[in-house]
Amino acid sequence: MRYVLQTNSLTKKYKNFQALNGLTMNVPEGSVYGFVGKNGAGKTTLIRLICGLQEPSSGDFTLYGIQSGSRDMSRARRRMGAVVETPAVYMDMTAEENLKQQYLILGLPSYDGIPGLLKLVGLEDTGKKKVKNFSMGMKQRLGIAIALAGDPDLLVLDEPVNGLDPQGIVEIRELILKLNRERRITVLISSHILDELSRLATHYGIIDHGRMVKELSAEDLDAACRKCIRMEVSDTGILARVLDSMHLEYRITSETMADLFAKPSVTQLAVSLAEEGCEVLSMTEKDESLESYYLSLIGGGSHD
């Protein structure tokens, strides 16, 4: 597997705070990588480091195989576009004027690509409307258009749906999926809206206190969060024997609790257990979400 971004024991210390503590992560080429962590876990710090807005205290990273600190890093960063914290836009300009400014900054030879970019992000009909009169979602989409001006292979988005209404969230989601699937752009997304992230991400990195807790693919997450029937019984030893005889997959989680990964005949199962002297106390369907999986790893609390 090829990786667009890899960090190796990346550390960032401020005076009285350690934002990153030996962070190691791997972002596969072509992925939508969801970067998940509580407020203060280090998500934005990592993004600022790879964008060159800050320097690491120790450790290093590679971007498209180029080592941080290398004189070629600026060339690697030209393959990256980013919207960090809030979109950097000029409020008294139109969407087109904002993109022209970005084209000048990048030294692009002509403005020919601007109409296509505006259409891509759904802002082709904004005309002379100034950005200060845009909705939050429109500003976010303009920020993404500006990040795309240099035709990047990697797009980094810090909380892209934060503060958006449901329609705005759907528009950003569809845009990200389009960029990833049609333009093959790798996308790194920091987000605390975990339900939304689960609709987008192909890979996840879960961090806490500046350390990587778990990296996994969407397939790994589906396997970890698959549907099951959670059973509470008087004796899981008897339950295990009965389930084995029925050739059903299960996992014993305590002396009285088990997860059953099948849909048996409830009546047949209850009768079989009763005959063995095992009482069924409760049965509930369980479908773990990214949020509950995340909380089980981190141990609860607020998240960002």
Residue ranges per domain, the chain? 3-79+152-223, 227-286
* 3.30.70.100, 3.30.530.20, 3.40.50.300, 3.40.50.2000: CATH of 227-286: 3.30.70.100
Rounded to whole angstroms, the Cα distance separating 274 from 263 reads 19
* 197, 191 Cβ separation under 8 angstroms: yes
Q: Please, are residues 140 and 131 in contact by the beta-carbon 8 Å criterion?
A: no
| Number of neighbours of residue 229 by Cβ within 10 angstroms | 19
Name which residue leads in pLDDT, 302 or 153.
Answer: 153
**3-state secondary structure at position 83:** strand
Give pLDDT, residue 304: 42
CATH class of 3-79+152-223: alpha beta
The gap between the terminal CA atoms of the chain, to the nearest Å, is 29
| pTM (global) more than 0.85 | no
Element (H, E) at 22: strand 18-28
pLDDT digits (tens, 9 = 90+) for 71-118: 999 999 999 999 987 788 999 999 999 999 999 999 999 999 999 999
Q: What is the pLDDT of residues 17-30, one digit of tens each?
A: 899 999 999 999 99
Measure Cα distances from 129 to 99, 147, 225 in Å.
14, 20, 46
The amino acid at 296 = S
